Amino acid sequence: MSSQLESSFLKGSITALESGKKTQRPIIFVHGYLDNAASFNSLISYLPDFHCIAIDLPGHGKSKHRSPDAHYHLTDYVYDLHALIQEQKWTQVSLVGHSLGGIICSIYASLFPEHVQTLVCIESMGPLCEPEFTAASQLRESMASREKAKMPIKQPESMEQVVAARMRVSDLSAQEAIIILDRNIENKQGQLTWRTDKRLRTKSALRFTPNQAMDIIENIQCRFNLVLGKQGFIKLRRLLKQRAGLFKDLHLTELAGGHHVHMQSSKDVADIIQKAIKGQES
């Protein structure tokens, strides 16, 4: 099993868990909404011969929050990934994204195909979208959520409480929830506070339209390695029927598990990543 070290990038604004052989081409792991780098701990332990970097997106885990005048736009996350790759002068990387992280990675692969050797998306099939005629309602809801985010938030009373709450709204077991929440919560002399930025819960200002999402997908040049949990999000299976023909090279694998299938079938997902990378290198 590989050991992981805390690392920082982008002038210390992004934290990461890094392990493996730095002589190898990096694999960047991008987590889902309200998760963090620790959600990849088990998966990365099966990849000791690779250079693995699991980042905390801004506002998540141990990464810095955006400035008070900024918000958490999807396209800014894509730029964060681009800035990281530019900063480190990596000419090519492999990307592994879960849920929101998969959306970010797929958009990046569409915009900068020359930098992406391998793309693995877990429970994620490109940008979420809304019809053009919902623009006004989206913006109204987004602004209302920003006003709500100005209010103080309730801090955790105990880990048991937040673990139980997370389990109620996800497919995570208690042990899996603890792995994620332990990195999202700070404990100072027994006082628990959220590390995550409360503004993460604000709603998107505008989602891509269906045609915009189609354009993003059609510009992905590499194989789209899609991993779905057999008990994962039903809406992704409906999306698969709509979008399967848009990908130049789609390779689907279904594994035992739910939306966090990479935590529940870690070794199998690691095998998919290894085969995908070796297939591109051969």
Please list the active-site residues: 99
Give the number of other CB atoms < 10 A from CB of residue 231.
Answer: 13
Q: What does the buried/exposed string (b/e) look like for 74-87 if buried means 16 or more CB atoms within 10 Å of the residue's CB? A: beebbebbebbbee
The C-alpha atoms of residue 148 and residue 71 are separated, in whole angstroms, by: 14
Burial grade of 2 (CB within 10 A; 0-12, 13-18, 19 or more): middle
Which of 89, 11, 91, 2 has the alpha carbon at shortest distance from 54?
A: 2
Q: How far is CA 95 from the centre of its chain?
A: 10
Contacts of 195 (CB under 8 A, 6+ apart): 61, 62, 183, 184, 185, 186
